[in-house]
Each structure stands twice: as structure tokens, then as C-alpha cells.
């Protein structure tokens, strides 16, 4: 494979318009974003691919903008670990249910894996192991989130003291720090935090009373578990790593996260009314998902579906960085895009994926082209065009035959006079042949030119997509001059052969019938 990238999808609303966000690993696909792979008729394709006359500049350059200024948002892990080993202690003053340490690990593609390990709430520091699905990870890895989750049902609300002393093979980047990124209310009021006056209504969700850097460690936090007496609230809290200078979280608002650079389609600009340089927030009902900064506009996205829907293309690691800083759940891979090294490699990859049901359904450029060719509407239209190609020379031969016969019959007396003054039949046949071949040559050449011009005008009007609209991108005018010359030549030869045969027949003149004795003229 020349390139492999996971594809994640997020849906939301901006300015009341439904927006679809597509995320992929731009570092994996940029090497195949070449003009050769995006040329018409290429067997090896880029993913994604944009026709050269539709991209304002280099697609590789625009994809590079999607990962520009990617912020620090995780602790890099050394080597290729198969497990995450963390030194952790957690304590609780009262009897509590089961407690888990939760960690989110992001791979080089931007995909995030969530792992957890059960803890013992006795205040003793232990090294816990969180197994990783090493076979499906793209190294190197980084830890982007830590969290604490508890089973509160059947137990009184508990206060936990969590300390993460370190993670084997990982260190906090310079200037970065762990902060509370738990979604929802940030105020400690209603949590019942130790030493904090609390006269307001009680909250059911778990929350963070305080968080700081542990002495010689990563983080230390005081956490209040969820209150089962107040209803079913969130049972966990999350901590994210943010770079130095990140604005502090304020009441009722999430951490001021990273604005994700985005390429948008023209429907986005038209409906959302934000173009180059615009900064917007993607919302889900009333929840703020993340921010977008428009760095480029494309007429349409390859394989983007509904062209009237606003669509956004982002870098998957950049999207994961924004979501980690906002305490959002990770984006899952909805599909994988693959670009092969060769035609044979593409066929082998297609067979390999199709042979393993666990990998899901495979769809290649070749299979999509075959499915489109087998579509009854498209095949019917193609058959009509082929029928026109076959019948056109037949009609041309019939037309020239009628023209030659009619012309010769109207000039029989003229031919009789020429024969009477000594013109031989072979000479007369030669004159007829020369006249008709001149007409045939001019007509065939003019017909070929008019046919090409007419096809260029008509084909874009009759080639439509499944919904009956004009295809996008619009048809690229590519004239098959070789095939056109062959059709013109074949038509000319067919008509010319008929003319040669007819010239001999039509040169025969009965002088007695055409010039009876005693007739003037």
C-alpha cells in the first residue's frame, strides 16, 4: 500500500445548518496527492483526489495546512509498548464501590483507544497495567487523557484523592500541565467538596474539587463521585494535557480548545456564510463540540455525497487534539481509505479485504466503476450512443447512394450528349467518381467536426447522477482523436466504395432512348 488512513466522521450544526465533518490522517495521504494519481484515467489514485482544474493550488499544500500548529496534547510513549503501565494511588474515606483508572491513548494516525484498569481505593501506590490493542495501533503513541470512574450505585457519595505518580516510558512535555476537562459544570458548588462551603442545590454528577501537579509526579486531584441519591449522573471525571498559555477554564465553559484547521466545500460557504479565515463552533443541540478555522475552500469533496450539504475536511490528529482538550469522547473510525502502489497491488488488497469478514465491506475504484457501468439507466444510455455510432455510417451510405442516383438520373441527357460527341464510358465514370468523392470527402470531414462539437455540447446535458442532476465534477472534455479518425475514415471508405460501384453503373447511357432521332437539343 502507498497510503492507508482511517476516516472519522462527526456531525453537528453551525448557524442552524447541518454540517458533516470528515477527518483523515493527512500525513499518510499527502505523499500520494500527486498530479499523476489525480489525472483522468489513472489506475492508481490519491485519497482523497481532486481534479487539477478544480483545486485552487496544490492539494498537498492544502492538506499540509490542516496540521499546521498542532498543539501539544499528550505525553509521548517510548518504543512500541503493548501495555500502559502507570503508578497510581487512590484513597477514599468511606466505603466505595469499584473504581477504575481510565486512559486515552492516541496513535500516529489520530485514532484514540480508551483503556482502563481497576484500582483499590486504599491509598497505596501501585503500578497498574492497562493492555493496549497493539496489533491495530500505528506507532508512536501518546497519552492524551486520564480519568477516574467509579460505580456509585448502592454506596454513599465518596471523596477520592487520586495521585498519578508517573507513566512508564512517558513524560510531560515542557510547559504542559494536566487540567480538568470534564464536560459539564465546572463550579464546585453542589459537589460537597471538603473544606468548601456548600449551601446550594446538590449535583448528581461526579466532579473535580481541585487538581494540581503531584510532587515529583503527573497530577494530584480531589474528586467527588456521583451521588446516586440525586439521580443518574456522570460517574467519571477527565483530565487533559494542555500546553502553556492555554486560557483557564471558566464557569459553565469548557477549556478554550484548539481551533481545528478545515477545508470546506462551497455549500458550507453559501449556507454557513463563513469563508477563508472564518472561525466557527460546531454544535450538537446545545453542546459545544469544537471550533473550526477555515483555511481553504474546494468546489466539492471527492465522494462527498450530497453536494448541497455543508461539508468539512480536517486532519484526524488535529481533531483528536481539540476533542481531548475539551473532554469529548474520541472519534471512531467509520472507514479506511487505501491507495495502492500498483494495479496488481490494488487487486490483491481488494481480494484480501473481501476474504476477511471482520474487515467489513470493500469498495474500490474498479468495483465502483463496474457498478456504475452495470446500472440499467447508464447502460441504456450507453447502448443508445453505441447504436448511434453504428447506424450513422449506414445512414450516410444510404444518403449518398440516393444522392448519387438522383444526381445521375437528372443529368442523363447531359451524359448522352457527352457520349454522342465521343466521351468514353470510362471517362464519364471517372467524372462521376471525382464529383461524388469530392462531395463525400467534404461531407465526412465536416460531419466529423460537427459530431465532436455536438457531443461536447450534448453529453454534459444527458450524463446525470443517480438523482438526475448534472454530475460533479463536470465532464472533462477529452476527445478521442484516434477513435474519431477511425470512425470518419471507416465512414468515408464505406461511402467511397459505394460511389465507386455506382459510378460505373450510372455511366451507362442508352443514346437511343435519351436522344431519339429528329429531337432538337
H or E element in which residue 66 lies: none
d(CA 494, CA 440): 10
Cα–Cα distances in angstroms (integers) from residue 502 to residues 50, 259, 422, 507, 513, in the given order: 55, 79, 22, 8, 21
Q: Residue 370 pLDDT > 90, yes or no?
A: no
- State residue 302's pLDDT score: 62
d(CA 328, CA 317): 14
- State residue 366's pLDDT score: 75
Q: How far apart are the first and last CA of the chain?
A: 87
Instruction: Give me the DSSP letters along 276-341.
Output: TT-EEEEEETTEEEEEEEEEEEES--TT-S-TTS-EEEEEHHHHHHHHHHTTPPPPPEEEEEEE-S
DSSP 229: G
Q: Are strands 260-265 and 219-224 parallel, antiparallel or unpaired?
A: unpaired
Is the Cβ–Cβ distance between 209 and 179 less than 8 Å? no
Is the Cβ–Cβ distance between 496 and 440 less than 8 Å? yes
pLDDT band at 147, cuts 50/70/90?
very high
Return the higher-pLDDT residue of 45 and 362.
Answer: 362
Q: Please count the other Cβ atoms lying within 10 Å of the Cβ belonging to residue 489.
A: 12
DSSP 505: H
d(CA 319, CA 66): 10
Q: Are strands 177-180 and 236-242 parallel, antiparallel or unpaired?
A: antiparallel
* Grid coordinates given for 168: 512508564
H or E element in which residue 442 lies: helix 425-462
Q: Dihedrals φ, ψ of 278, to 5°?
A: -70, 145
pLDDT band at 162, cuts 50/70/90?
very high
- State residue 251's pLDDT score: 46
Domain boundaries, the chain: 3-71+257-341, 75-242, 375-510
Is the Cβ–Cβ distance between 93 and 159 less than 8 Å? yes
d(CA 107, CA 140): 6
pTM of the model: 0.76
- State residue 504's pLDDT score: 67
Return the higher-pLDDT residue of 45 and 389.
Answer: 389
Q: Residue 253 pLDDT > 50, yes or no?
A: no
Q: Are strands 287-298 and 260-265 parallel, antiparallel or unpaired?
A: parallel
d(CA 333, CA 266): 26
Cα 165 off chain centre by: 42
Q: Are strands 260-265 and 112-119 parallel, antiparallel or unpaired?
A: unpaired
- State residue 227's pLDDT score: 80
H or E element in which residue 316 lies: helix 316-325
- State residue 260's pLDDT score: 92
Residue that is written with C-alpha cell 444510455 in the block? 381
Tens digits of per-residue pLDDT, 403-442?
777 777 777 777 677 767 777 777 877 777 787 788 888 8
- State residue 371's pLDDT score: 75
Closest CA to 236 of 211, 205, 193, 209: 205
- State residue 252's pLDDT score: 43
d(CA 143, CA 76): 7
pLDDT band at 312, cuts 50/70/90?
very high
Burial class for 290, CB neighbours closer than 10 Å (0-12, 13-18, 19+): buried
DSSP 170: B
- State residue 506's pLDDT score: 65
DSSP 469: S
H or E element in which residue 411 lies: none
Amino acid at each position: 500500500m502507498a497510503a492507508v488512513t482511517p476516516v472519522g466522521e462527526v456531525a453537528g450544526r453551525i448557524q442552524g445548518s447541518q454540517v458533516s465533518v470528515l477527518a483523515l490522517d493527512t500525513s499518510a495521504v499527502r505523499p500520494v496527492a500527486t498530479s499523476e494519481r489525480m489525472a483522468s484515467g489513472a489506475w492508481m489514485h490519491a485519497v482523497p483526489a481532486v481534479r487539477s482544474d478544480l483545486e485552487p493550488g496544490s492539494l498537498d499544500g492544502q492538506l499540509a495546512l490542516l496540521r499546521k500548529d498542532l498543539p501539544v496534547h499528550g505525553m509521548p510513549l517510548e518504543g512500541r509498548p503493548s501495555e500502559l503501565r502507570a503508578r497510581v494511588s487512590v484513597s477514599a474515606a468511606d466505603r466505595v464501590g469499584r473504581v477504575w483508572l481510565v486512559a486515552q491513548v492516541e496513535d500516529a494516525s489520530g485514532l484514540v483507544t480508551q483503556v482502563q484498569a481497576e484500582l483499590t481505593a486504599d491509598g497505596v501506590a501501585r503500578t497498574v497495567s492497562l493492555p493496549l490493542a497493539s496489533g491495530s495501533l500505528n506507532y508512536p503513541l501518546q497519552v492524551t487523557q486520564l480519568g477516574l470512574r467509579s460505580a456509585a450505585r448502592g454506596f454513599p457519595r465518596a471523596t477520592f484523592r487520586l495521585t498519578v505518580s508517573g507513566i512508564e516510558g512517558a513524560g510531560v512535555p515542557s510547559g504542559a500541565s494536566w487540567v480538568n476537562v470534564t464536560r459539564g459544570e465546572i463550579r464546585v458548588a453542589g459537589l460537597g467538596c471538603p473544606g468548601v462551603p456548600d449551601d446550594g442545590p446538590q449535583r448528581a454528577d461526579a466532579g473535580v474539587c481541585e487538581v494540581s501537579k503531584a510532587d515529583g509526579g503527573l497530577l494530584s486531584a480531589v474528586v467527588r463521585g456521583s451521588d446516586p441519591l440525586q439521580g443518574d449522573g456522570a460517574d467519571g471525571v477527565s483530565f487533559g494535557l494542555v500546553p502553556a498559555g492555554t486560557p483557564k477554564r471558566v464557569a459553565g465553559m469548557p477549556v478554550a480548545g484548539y481551533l481545528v484547521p478545515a477545508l470546506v466545500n462551497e455549500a458550507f460557504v453559501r449556507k454557513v456564510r463563513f469563508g477563508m479565515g472564518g472561525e466557527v463552533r460546531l454544535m450538537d443541540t446545545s453542546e459545544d463540540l469544537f471550533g473550526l478555522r477555515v483555511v481553504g475552500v474546494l468546489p466539492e469533496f471527492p465522494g462527498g455525497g450530497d453536494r448541497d450539504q455543508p461539508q468539512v475536511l480536517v486532519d484526524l490528529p488535529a481533531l483528536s487534539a481539540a476533542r481531548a482538550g475539551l473532554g469529548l469522547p474520541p472519534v471512531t473510525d467509520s472507514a479506511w481509505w487505501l491507495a495502492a502502489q500498483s494495479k496488481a497491488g490494488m487487486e490483491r488488497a481488494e481480494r484480501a479485504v473481501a476474504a476477511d469478514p471482520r474487515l467489513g465491506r470493500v469498495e474500490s475504484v474498479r468495483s465502483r466503476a463496474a457498478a456504475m457501468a452495470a446500472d440499467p439507466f447508464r447502460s441504456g444510455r450507453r447502448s443508445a450512443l453505441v447504436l448511434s455510432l453504428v447506424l450513422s455510417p449506414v445512414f450516410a451510405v444510404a444518403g449518398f447512394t440516393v444522392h448519387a442516383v438522383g444526381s445521375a438520373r437528372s443529368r442523363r441527357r447531359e451524359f448522352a450528349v457527352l457520349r454522342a460527341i465521343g466521351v468514353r464510358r470510362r471517362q464519364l465514370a471517372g467524372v462521376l467518381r471525382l464529383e461524388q468523392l469530392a462531395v463525400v470527402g467534404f461531407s465526412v470531414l465536416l460531419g466529423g467536426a460537427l459530431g465532436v462539437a455536438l457531443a461536447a455540447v450534448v453529453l454534459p446535458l444527458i450524463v446525470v447522477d443517480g438523482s438526475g442532476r448534472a454530475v460533479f465534477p463536470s465532464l472533462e472534455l477529452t476527445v478521442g482523436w484516434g477513435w474519431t479518425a477511425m470512425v470518419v475514415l471507416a465512414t468515408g471508405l464505406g461511402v467511397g466504395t459505394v460511389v465507386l460501384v455506382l459510378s460505373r453503373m450510372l455511366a451507362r447511357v442508352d443514346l437511343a432512348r435519351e436522344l431519339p432521332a429528329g429531337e432538337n437539343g
